[in-house]
Amino acid sequence: MPKKLRGAKTLLTGATGGIGRTLARTLAAHGADPVLTGRRAELLEPLAAQVGGRAVPADLADRGAVEELLAAAGEIDIVVANAALPATGLLAGYSLDQVDRALEVNLRAPVVLAKLVAEQMLARRRAHLVFISSLSGKTASGQASLYNATKFGLRGFALALPEDSRPFNVGVSSVFRGYISDAGMFADSGAILPPGVGARTTDDVARATVRAIERDIAEIDVAPFGLRLTALLGGIAPRLAAAVQRHLSAEAITEQLAEGQRTKR
């Protein structure tokens, strides 16, 4: 049984999504005491009962929701910040309210959550923060400028945060997923991958999350080699990476994602 997760009160955001449900079950199976949160109470409460955890409904698009969530949850040992809104598509197609919602849920909420939880954690010197992110936080792509902005910002925050908390034994990890075949934004959108572009599963994301916590790994990619290589290239030679993505029809995939997720912005 993993040592960090055993008996650890673990707050999971975005628990009612496809990846969130798998994370909830996996964390509980590895000994965590889950506190699950999400917008849909009708899905959240049965899931919490199934994994032996507690449900605390919250809409992270609302200012003040994080403070209310933590007040209800009590002291937390581990946070898995998984909640996110779809934010693909041309920026011109977003209303200002939709822009604000994406920034609020995808970037501000995990930052505020980390700040407030860390204030509890520092005194106990036993804690871990995990940010479930995307390869979109490592390389930019067409029709995803808003999503890229939130995920690039989250990556910078997560990389810098350990320096602030190093004396207090607070671990920080990011899990960068590629396309997920069985649930989540990509699967829900109905988008189709071209030949040669692979995907991973929600179980892969959950296993990587457990490994990140137990081994205190800063960053883990959950994607086939080709996508991981493209993400690496995006940090070294952005224009070349953009050309590779065009060759792989990445923008067409992103366009399908945007269309399939338009109602969830």
User: Any catalytic annotation for residue 179?
Assistant: no
**pLDDT confidence of residue 33:** 97
d(C-alpha 226, C-alpha 139), whole Å: 13
**Residue among 11, 33, 117, 147 flagged as catalytic:** 147
Q: Number of folded domains in the chain?
A: 1
Instruction: For residue 111, count CB atoms less than 10 angstroms from its CB and return exposed for 0-12, middle for 13-18, buried for 19 or more.
Output: middle
CATH number of the CATH domain containing 89 = 3.40.50.720
The residues that bridge with 92 in the sheet, in sequence order, are none
Query: Looking at the domain assignment, is residue 154 inside a domain?
Result: yes
Token readout for 18 is 């496809």
Query: Looking at the domain assignment, is residue 248 inside a domain?
Result: yes
Domain of residue 189 covers: 9-264
Strands 170-177 and 219-222, sheet pairing: parallel
Closest CA to 34 of 59, 1, 7, 62: 7
Query: Looking at the domain assignment, is residue 1 inside a domain?
Result: no
**pLDDT confidence of residue 246:** 63
**pLDDT confidence of residue 227:** 84
Query: Looking at the domain assignment, is residue 2 inside a domain?
Result: no
d(C-alpha 203, C-alpha 163), whole Å: 30
**pLDDT confidence of residue 91:** 93
* Positions in the chain whose pLDDT score sits under 50: 1
Four-residue CA torsion sign, 21, 203, 205, 89: negative
- Amino acid type, 115: K
Angle of helix 145-165 versus helix 109-124 axis, rounded to 10: 10
Condensed to tens digits (0 to 9), the pLDDT of residues 147-176 reads 999 999 999 999 999 888 776 778 999 999
Query: Looking at the domain assignment, is residue 207 inside a domain?
Result: yes
Say if CB 172 and CB 162 are below 8 A apart: yes
Query: Looking at the domain assignment, is residue 226 inside a domain?
Result: yes
